[in-house]
Amino acid sequence: MTPTTPINRPLGDGLVLRSLRDSDDAERVATFNGQIFGPKVAEMSRSLMHHHPATRPEHWLYVEDESRAQIVSSLALIPWQWRYEDVTLKSGEMAIVATDEAYRNRGLIRALAVRHQELLCVGEFDLSHIQGIPYFYRQFGYEYAMPLEPGWHLELRQLPDAPADSAASYHFRPATCDDLPLLMRLYEEAGQSLHIRTVRPAGAWQYLFEHSEGTETQGEFWLLLDAQEQVAGYWRVAHFGFGTGLIVSETSRLSGPAAEALLHWLKAAALERNKPYIRFNLPLTNDLLRVAQGWGAHDSGTYAWQMQLVDVPRLLSRLAPVFERRIAASSLAGLTQRVVISLYRTAYELDIACGRVTAVNALNRCDQADLHLPPLLLAPLLLGYRSRAELNSMYPDVRVRGQSQVLVDVLFPRLESFIYSIY
Ligand SMILES: CC(C)(COP(=O)(O)OP(=O)(O)OC[C@H]1O[C@@H](n2cnc3c(N)ncnc32)[C@H](O)[C@@H]1OP(=O)(O)O)[C@@H](O)C(=O)NCCC(=O)NCCS
């Protein structure tokens, strides 16, 4: 663990907010997380702190009751990189959030969230995401804004037995570290069907192979090979997750026959492992999911990532090339206009000249805007989770100036997004 300057912030009543100082602290935080969430999360905390290339000691925050020398609350910032079309963004996850039962409702997560926010600002993160319990994180500026944990289920009886000659067409083997360059290439290819996706650097792949065992995110990567021994794709089975089914948590692009062959492998694996159904935790654009839908896979519901936009003007500036491309591809090509987006208490303007975004500025409250949105709703609109029309149908205070509606819809279309994990 690389030494850094830890934070030490008294909160009153003998409580102090800290970040990791040493390996002893790391072990104490892991043990605390285990007490709240169980041993697999304790092991995941350990693994992340010691082995994940993205994590840093100052990002693991906790509150200690000094009178008892006990950790009583904790959370972590885990840095990710996302690709929004061709723009790389930094997103700081708020992860493993917990308070000891005896210390709840005293504002300890609120205090930790303040420090988390400072770290996001200092680290120039664009976004923050959390796979959180319902509602709670709205209090800290998060809103549901990207699909998470889709639950497409295929009952085993829905899939007929494999044709007798199919065994000769494809075979299967577990992937190893030696396959990483190939897996990385296939992962990149599959990501092309998504507008927003995770960047998974080599170090994160390495972590998944070498350090996720025994943790909440443990899984297996497999390869599918055709009769000529050519790799026809890969998939990952997650060992733990929602539901009792066999969970497919990732795949490469797959041809129709390869996907059919994989479904038969999954059915056999589910039977062998006593799993009553196959669950596809995959985006709607995924080839395997589409073939499974043909066999009757049904949607049992999708949760959502809760997202916060850390610095709106910076994010809008970073996304300028995306906006320019959207304008160029629309009936508004060559547009020159000042576009004002009001979040009621603050506002932002995009200066667009001949289809180029020439400036993004923060404004004070502004009554004359092209688009008015309650503040939390910019995240779902900007990340393409909900369209302007969908938001407007739910919230009368989503308002668009008549002549700006086409432009707003061009700038903020619905998007296909999916975030595969980096740990
Ligand atoms: C959810 C949890 C982390 C909250 O911790 P906490 O230290 O009690 O949170 P805080 O006191 O900082 O809460 C901030 C505010 O939200 C309120 N609050 C607490 N729990 C809440 C909940 N589950 N839903 C809505 N509001 C809640 C608090 O009363 C406080 O309100 P106030 O600022 O107006 O006084 C804690 O209950 C916990 O560890 N639960 C079990 C593990 C868990 O579910 N973790 C979250 C995983 S995503």
Convert the pLDDT of each residue in 69-102 to its tens digit. 999 999 999 999 999 999 999 999 999 999 999 9
Cα 111 to middle of ligand 1, angstroms: 11
Does position 1 have pLDDT exceeding 60, yes or no?
Answer: no
Cα 101 to middle of ligand 1, angstroms: 10
Residue with tokens 């694996």: 269
Q: Render pLDDT for 19-44 as a digit per residue (tens, 0 to 9).
A: 999 999 999 999 999 999 999 999 99
* In the chain, ranges of CATH 3.40.630.30 domains: 8-141, 152-301
Tokens for 349? 């303007």
User: Closest residue (by CA) to atom 18 of ligand 1?
Assistant: 105
Tokens for 399? 């308002």
Q: What is the pLDDT of residue 167?
A: 67
Cα 104 to middle of ligand 1, angstroms: 6
User: 311-411 architecture in CATH?
Assistant: 2-Layer Sandwich (3.30)
Report the chain's mean pLDDT, rounded to a whole number: 96
Cα 310 to middle of ligand 1, angstroms: 21
Q: Render pLDDT for 300-325 as a digit per residue (tens, 0 to 9).
A: 999 999 999 999 999 999 999 999 99
Q: What is the pLDDT of residue 334?
A: 98
What residues are in contact with ligand 1 under a 6 Å CB criterion? Answer: 36, 73, 97-99, 104-110, 132-133, 135-136, 139
Q: What is the pLDDT of residue 349?
A: 97
Q: What atom in ligand 1 is closest to the CA of residue 98? A: 39
Instruction: Put residue 101 in one of left, alpha, beta given phi > 0 → left and psi -120 to 50 → alpha.
Output: alpha
Q: With respect to CATH, is domain 152-301 assigned 3.40.630.30?
A: yes
Cα 309 to middle of ligand 1, angstroms: 21
Cα 98 to middle of ligand 1, angstroms: 8
Report the alpha-carbon distance of residue 136 to residue 192 in Å, rounded.
33
In this structure, are residues 47 and 91 in contact, taking their beta carbons and an 8 Å threshold? no
* In the chain, ranges of CATH 3.30.1050.10 domains: 311-411
Q: What is the pLDDT of residue 388?
A: 98
The CATH class given to the 8-141 domain equals: alpha beta
289 secondary structure, DSSP code: H
Cα 28 to middle of ligand 1, angstroms: 21
Secondary structure of residue 407 in the 3-state scheme? helix
Does position 164 have pLDDT exceeding 90, yes or no?
Answer: no
303 Cβ neighbours under 8 A, 6+ residues apart: 131, 147, 148, 149
Q: Render pLDDT for 344-362 as a digit per residue (tens, 0 to 9).
A: 999 999 999 999 999 999 9
Q: What is the pLDDT of residue 205?
A: 98
Enter the pTM of the model: 0.96
Report the alpha-carbon distance of residue 308 to residue 144 in Å, rounded.
9
Report the alpha-carbon distance of residue 323 to residue 325 in Å, rounded.
5
Does position 144 have pLDDT exceeding 80, yes or no?
Answer: yes
Q: What is the pLDDT of residue 163?
A: 81
Lowest mean pLDDT among 114-123, 166-175, 268-277, 329-338: 166-175
Identity of the residue numbered 23: S
Q: What atom in ligand 1 is closest to the CA of residue 131? A: 48
Q: What atom in ligand 1 is closest to the CA of residue 106? A: 11
Q: What atom in ligand 1 is closest to the CA of residue 133? A: 48
User: Closest residue (by CA) to atom 23 of ligand 1?
Assistant: 136
Does position 298 have pLDDT exceeding 60, yes or no?
Answer: yes
Report the alpha-carbon distance of residue 146 to residue 195 in Å, rounded.
11
Tokens for 244? 């009792």
Q: What is the pLDDT of residue 162?
A: 85
160 secondary structure, DSSP code: P
Q: What atom in ligand 1 is closest to the CA of residue 73? A: 7
Q: Render pLDDT for 198-240 as a digit per residue (tens, 0 to 9).
A: 999 999 999 999 999 999 999 999 999 999 999 999 999 999 9
In this structure, are residues 417 and 194 in contact, taking their beta carbons and an 8 Å threshold? yes
Enclosing H/E stretch for 24: helix 23-37
- How would you classify the pairing of strands 277-280 and 246-251? parallel
